[in-house]
Amino acid sequence: MFLKELLLLPVCLTVNTQLSGVVISVADGDTFSIILDKEKFKIRLRGIDCPERSQAYGQKARDYTSEKIFGKEVTIITHGKDQYGRVIGGSNP
Protein backbone atom coordinates (compact mmCIF):
# COMPACT_ATOMS: atom_id res chain seq x y z
CA MET A 1 0.00 0.00 0.00
CA PHE A 2 2.79 2.47 0.89
CA LEU A 3 4.48 2.01 -2.50
CA LYS A 4 1.20 2.67 -4.29
CA GLU A 5 0.72 5.93 -2.33
CA LEU A 6 4.33 6.93 -2.99
CA LEU A 7 3.86 6.52 -6.74
CA LEU A 8 0.86 8.85 -6.64
CA LEU A 9 2.86 11.81 -5.26
CA PRO A 10 3.09 14.72 -7.69
CA VAL A 11 6.37 14.68 -9.58
CA CYS A 12 7.20 18.25 -8.54
CA LEU A 13 7.27 17.29 -4.86
CA THR A 14 9.88 14.55 -5.10
CA VAL A 15 13.23 15.13 -3.40
CA ASN A 16 15.85 17.15 -5.32
CA THR A 17 13.42 18.38 -7.97
CA GLN A 18 13.40 22.01 -9.07
CA LEU A 19 10.24 23.96 -8.41
CA SER A 20 9.90 27.49 -9.81
CA GLY A 21 7.15 30.01 -9.27
CA VAL A 22 6.28 33.57 -8.31
CA VAL A 23 6.18 34.38 -4.59
CA ILE A 24 2.62 35.45 -3.77
CA SER A 25 2.83 35.68 0.02
CA VAL A 26 5.34 35.63 2.86
CA ALA A 27 4.08 34.12 6.11
CA ASP A 28 7.23 34.74 8.13
CA GLY A 29 10.99 34.86 7.70
CA ASP A 30 11.30 31.24 6.61
CA THR A 31 7.92 30.41 5.04
CA PHE A 32 6.35 31.71 1.85
CA SER A 33 3.97 30.64 -0.90
CA ILE A 34 4.50 30.43 -4.63
CA ILE A 35 2.11 29.97 -7.51
CA LEU A 36 2.97 27.54 -10.30
CA ASP A 37 0.53 26.69 -13.06
CA LYS A 38 -2.38 28.03 -10.96
CA GLU A 39 -1.39 25.77 -8.05
CA LYS A 40 -0.22 27.22 -4.73
CA PHE A 41 2.72 25.68 -2.86
CA LYS A 42 3.68 26.66 0.68
CA ILE A 43 7.48 26.56 1.03
CA ARG A 44 9.46 26.19 4.27
CA LEU A 45 13.11 27.13 3.81
CA ARG A 46 15.49 24.28 4.61
CA GLY A 47 18.08 25.00 7.27
CA ILE A 48 16.58 28.38 8.25
CA ASP A 49 14.81 29.02 11.55
CA CYS A 50 13.40 32.52 11.92
CA PRO A 51 11.30 33.73 14.83
CA GLU A 52 7.54 33.63 14.39
CA ARG A 53 5.86 37.00 13.79
CA SER A 54 4.66 37.13 17.41
CA GLN A 55 8.20 36.59 18.76
CA ALA A 56 10.97 39.15 19.15
CA TYR A 57 12.28 40.19 15.71
CA GLY A 58 9.64 38.03 13.99
CA GLN A 59 8.12 40.93 12.08
CA LYS A 60 11.58 42.16 11.05
CA ALA A 61 12.42 38.68 9.73
CA ARG A 62 9.17 38.57 7.74
CA ASP A 63 9.70 42.07 6.38
CA TYR A 64 13.26 41.24 5.30
CA THR A 65 12.21 38.06 3.49
CA SER A 66 9.28 39.85 1.88
CA GLU A 67 11.52 42.69 0.68
CA LYS A 68 13.88 40.20 -0.97
CA ILE A 69 11.47 37.78 -2.67
CA PHE A 70 7.83 38.97 -2.75
CA GLY A 71 6.54 39.19 -6.32
CA LYS A 72 9.70 37.63 -7.74
CA GLU A 73 10.19 34.32 -9.47
CA VAL A 74 12.19 31.90 -7.37
CA THR A 75 13.55 28.43 -8.00
CA ILE A 76 13.97 26.01 -5.15
CA ILE A 77 15.13 22.43 -4.88
CA THR A 78 12.62 20.32 -3.01
CA HIS A 79 13.60 18.21 0.00
CA GLY A 80 10.28 16.53 0.73
CA LYS A 81 7.55 17.85 3.03
CA ASP A 82 7.49 18.76 6.70
CA GLN A 83 4.99 17.58 9.32
CA TYR A 84 2.62 20.42 8.33
CA GLY A 85 2.54 19.51 4.64
CA ARG A 86 4.76 22.39 3.52
CA VAL A 87 7.34 21.74 0.83
CA ILE A 88 10.83 21.92 2.28
CA GLY A 89 12.88 23.96 -0.15
CA GLY A 90 16.46 25.04 -0.55
CA SER A 91 18.86 26.16 -3.20
CA ASN A 92 21.09 23.09 -3.26
CA PRO A 93 20.71 19.31 -2.84
Q: Which residues pair with 34 in a beta bridge?
A: 23, 41
Cα separation, 9 vs 24, in Å, equals: 24
What are the residue numbers of the active site?
A: 44, 52, 86
Instruction: Give residue 55's Cα distance to chain centre.
Output: 21
Tell me the DSSP string of 81-93. Answer: E-TTSPEEEES--
Q: What is the dihedral of CA 31, 70, 80, 6, to 10 degrees?
A: 120
CA 84 to chain centre: 12
